[in-house]
């Protein structure tokens, strides 16, 4: 008996071919992507906020973020083992003040710990939030010329 000879058999063979092709071309469950968002809400200076974020193996680079603008960077975090992903950011509203803090590690954002995480740089401090209602963490500006 040859299943290729019947039309049901042909459909079956095509279905198997489709399954084999789809596992080749469609990526299997890819790692989650996490976004960290930094809002510039600093009003005391008209200078754009200098935002520089990095992890042990990824330097996102320094970016100037204008007032009212949100700057986003994305990454695929490693959540287990010795090389768990952790990002730091240094923010400078001008040449004299800075805030340096852990911007993301697993658990930020609540839930499964891989939700987007928001930092609002304001005149008083940098406030970390998982949503608009909460403030989980604050880092005050530090004088650079100690
Ligand atoms: C932005 O800054 C203003 C003035 O300091 C403040 O009232 C407001 O709550 C800030 N907005 C956010 C989203 O943090």
In this structure, the residue with its CA closest to atom 11 of ligand 1 is: 41
Are residues 13 and 39 located together in one domain of the fold?
Answer: no
Which stretch, 7-11, 95-99, 135-139, has highest mean pLDDT?
95-99
pLDDT of residue 31: 67
Pocket of ligand 1 contains residue 67 by CB under 6 Å: no
Q: CA nearest 117: which of 78, 73, 83, 85?
A: 73
Are residues 5 and 61 located together in one domain of the fold?
Answer: no
Are residues 12 and 42 located together in one domain of the fold?
Answer: no
Between CA 101 and CA 141 the distance in angstroms is 11
Between CA 99 and CA 89 the distance in angstroms is 8
pLDDT of residue 27: 44
Pocket of ligand 1 contains residue 35 by CB under 6 Å: no
Q: CA nearest 104: which of 81, 73, 62, 134?
A: 73
Pocket of ligand 1 contains residue 123 by CB under 6 Å: yes
Q: What is the pTM of this model?
A: 0.78
Are residues 21 and 38 located together in one domain of the fold?
Answer: no
Are residues 139 and 73 located together in one domain of the fold?
Answer: yes
User: Under DSSP, is residue 105 helix (H, G, I), strand (E, B) or coil?
Assistant: strand
The domain tally of the chain equals 2
Pocket of ligand 1 contains residue 138 by CB under 6 Å: no
The proportion of the chain whose per-residue pLDDT surpasses 70, expressed as a percent, equals 80
């Amino acid at each position: 008996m040859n299943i290729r000879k019947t039309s049901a058999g042909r459909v079956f063979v095509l279905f198997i071919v489709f399954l084999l092709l789809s596992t080749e071309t469609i990526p299997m469950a890819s790692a989650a992507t996490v976004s960290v968002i930094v809002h510039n809400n600093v009003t005391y200076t008209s200078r754009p906020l200098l935002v520089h974020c990095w992890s042990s193996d990824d330097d996102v680079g320094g970016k100037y973020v204008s007032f009212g603008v949100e700057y986003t960077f994305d990454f695929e975090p490693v959540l287990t083992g010795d090389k768990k992903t952790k990002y730091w950011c240094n923010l400078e509203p001008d040449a004299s003040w800075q805030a340096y803090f852990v911007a993301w590690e697993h658990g930020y954002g609540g839930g499964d710990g891989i939700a987007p995480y928001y930092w609002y740089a304001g005149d008083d401090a940098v406030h970390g939030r998982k949503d608009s209602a909460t403030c989980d963490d604050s880092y005050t500006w530090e004088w650079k010329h100690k």
